[in-house]
Amino acid sequence: MHSRRILKQIIIPLLIAATAITPVLAAAQQQETPSAPSVSPVNFPAPPAENFTAASPTRATVEAFLKVLWGYDPDRVWQVWAIQKTPAPGVSRVIVQVAQKNAPQHQTATASFLVAPDGKHLIATNLDIQPFGEHPYAEAHQILMQRANGPSRGAAGKKFELVEFADFQCPHCKVTQPVIQQLLTDFPQAHFVFENFPLTSIHSEAFKAAAYSVCVAQQAGDETFFKFADAVFSAQDQLTPDSSDAVLGDAATKVGLNAAKVGACSYTDAAKNAVNASIQLGNDLNVDQTPILFVDGRQIPVGEVADGQLPYETLKQIIEYQFKLDQ
């Protein structure tokens, strides 16, 4: 994965590796709760009434948000410990106690984040901004259903949608493709969309590869696009300034297309504009690394599966839970 790896931090060893994909806890400051180190995770001490000084968000809203965020894990338990005013007008601080039922020594951790005045976003301690509310991923889901128009496969309907943002020159994107294929097998009800997100600041040939892929899809359709994508990922190490045109042309030839025609198309404004539109979509959704997978609007750094930080079964668990919420 590339760019900021804001999701690598773990609460404390007691929490399973799945926590690594949780935006709030992974980006917030966490520590063991010093006041009650031996308390049972299912029997948190009651929070003092004076901990709740802010009118918004309500405790019910925070609980609903955490249920969407963490409800996929039946062993995770939490308690809203405080919702406090801050010196900034309209900005509230939320403090949550969290633990695992099966954790040794009944360890408890705390996480805190700020809720923006609009009530729709939270601000983690590293200033990362994430969606917040009773339905935190609904807006992103709507945006993707309307604007994610890259090559697709799987189910025709978009009710259950997986959208991957990837870069053809990104090593993690290459090794993640088998994970994506397995997801499509395990979730036949899902509509999958591939969106180009070339990281041009570090990958000199990524935009060109994306433009080629746009032309392949235009000239031969989505099925051929995915065959082309596989061919490009297979030759990823050869995507250099001196050889990228030859490598991309060879991939086009392998899927039955005229390499010269595809290459000429890739230099047109139409092809470049299509890539830029995909990049803009990613930027609007705060994509800052590749590969990123959106599950009905819920952002997951799916590359964590390929490098072993997130078990595939946990990823499946999260997707199953999100799809169930969206039925």
The helix, strand and coil proportions of the chain, stated in percent and rounded to the nearest 5, come to 40, 20, 40
Cα Rg of the chain, angstroms: 22
Does position 275 have pLDDT exceeding 80, yes or no? yes
Does position 37 have pLDDT exceeding 90, yes or no? no
Does position 25 have pLDDT exceeding 80, yes or no? no
Does position 19 have pLDDT exceeding 60, yes or no? no
Reported residue count of the chain is 327
Domains of the chain in start order, with CATH, are 1-135 (no CATH), 139-284 (3.40.30.10)
Does position 4 have pLDDT exceeding 50, yes or no? no
pLDDT digits (tens, 9 = 90+) for 119-177: 999 999 888 899 999 999 999 999 999 999 999 999 999 999 999 999 999 999 999 99
Rounded to two decimals, what is the model's pTM? 0.87
Judged by average pLDDT, the poorest of 40-49, 59-68, 111-120, 134-143 is: 40-49
Distance CA 111, CA 36 (A): 15
